[in-house]
């Protein structure tokens, strides 16, 4: 069962959407993939025929176990390539995504395994997202949103849930990257914004919408 690039892209998008919502509907997927609802319906039929998803017309859909495994294979490849691009080719972490979108469709299983070993079997990609292993197992880390951290407790940035160019640009401005150490100094109840201290920089204030997307773990 080799999949086409288009099938892989659909499977991957469905996977990401159902992480949040469980069931996925046609228009949501069409918006996510920047395509039309009719095109989505066409592909859903093909994926159903290949038993990659449970789908009844007009009722929404979700990936089958086989579909989930296929999605995790693509996610694994995507994140391994992102790691390679950032760590070895020295790309900025906000530039790796579109290139990994192409590389993730290279089919050789042996390539993926050798790449994984070459990289030292990393558990997290440059955005802090977990890299599934070859069996689809996803590493976990005890992480919390920056909005849920008590004052004065030092934490380290482990991932960023919104990875839009705008968000990454904003973080760069605040000198926040993966692994950056942060302490929350103050919590303003007026609009939920936080005063934080980024290691080696003066305290600054970030808005709640930004803080909500920054995930951190306690420094042990």
Partner DNA sequence: AATAAAATTTAGACAAAACTAAAAATATTA
Partner DNA sequence: TAATATTTTTAGTTTTGTCTAAATTTTATT
Q: Which helix (H) or strand (E) covers residue 194, if one does?
A: strand 194-198
Q: Of 157, 84, 73, 139, which is closest to residue 116 (Cα–Cα)?
A: 84
- 102 lies in the binding site for a second copy (CB under 8 A): yes
Binding mask 178-197 for a second copy (x = CB under 8 A): --------------------
Residues that bind DNA (CB under 7 A): 4-7, 25-28, 35-46, 55, 57-60
CB-based contacts of 121: which residues, under 8 Å, 6+ apart? none
Q: Choose one: 6-14, 53-61, 110-118, 176-184; the region binding a second copy (CB under 8 A).
A: 110-118
Which of 59, 90, 173, 200 touches a second copy by CB under 8 A? 90
Contact (CB, 8 A) for 188 and 200: no
Report in angstroms the alpha-carbon separations of 220 from 113, 128, 155, 217.
Answer: 32, 18, 9, 9
Other C-beta atoms closer than 10 Å to the C-beta of 169 total 10
Rg from Cα positions in the chain:
19
- 109 lies in the binding site for a second copy (CB under 8 A): no
Q: Choose one: 6-14, 39-47, 71-79, 81-89; the region binding a second copy (CB under 8 A).
A: 81-89
Q: Choose one: 14-22, 97-105, 139-147, 174-182; the region binding a second copy (CB under 8 A).
A: 97-105
| List of residues contacting a second copy (CB under 8 A) | 85, 88-91, 95, 98-99, 102-103, 106-108, 110-111, 114-115, 118
């Amino acid at each position: 069962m080799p999949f086409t690039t288009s099938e892989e892209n659909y499977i991957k998008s469905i996977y990401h959407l159902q992480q949040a919502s469980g069931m996925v509907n046609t228009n949501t997927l069409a918006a996510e993939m920047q395509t039309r609802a009719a095109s989505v319906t066409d592909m859903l039929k093909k994926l159903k025929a290949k038993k990659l998803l449970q789908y009844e017309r007009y009722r929404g859909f979700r990936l089958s176990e086989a579909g989930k495994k296929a999605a995790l294979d693509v996610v694994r490849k995507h994140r391994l390539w992102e790691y390679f691009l950032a760590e070895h080719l020295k790309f900025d972490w906000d530039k790796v995504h579109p290139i990994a979108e192409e590389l993730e469709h290279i089919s050789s299983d042996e390539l993926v395994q050798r790449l994984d070993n070459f990289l030292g079997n990393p558990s997290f990609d440059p955005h802090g997202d977990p890299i599934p292993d070859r069996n689809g197992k996803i590493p976990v880390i005890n992480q919390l949103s920056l909005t849920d951290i008590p004052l004065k407790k030092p934490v380290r940035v482990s991932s960023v849930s919104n990875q839009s160019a705008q968000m990454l640009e904003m973080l760069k401005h605040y000198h926040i990257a993966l692994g950056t150490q942060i302490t929350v100094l103050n919590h303003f109840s007026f609009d939920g914004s936080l005063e934080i201290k980024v290691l080696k920089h003066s305290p600054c204030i970030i808005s709640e919408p930004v803080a909500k997307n920054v995930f951190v773990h306690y420094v042990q």
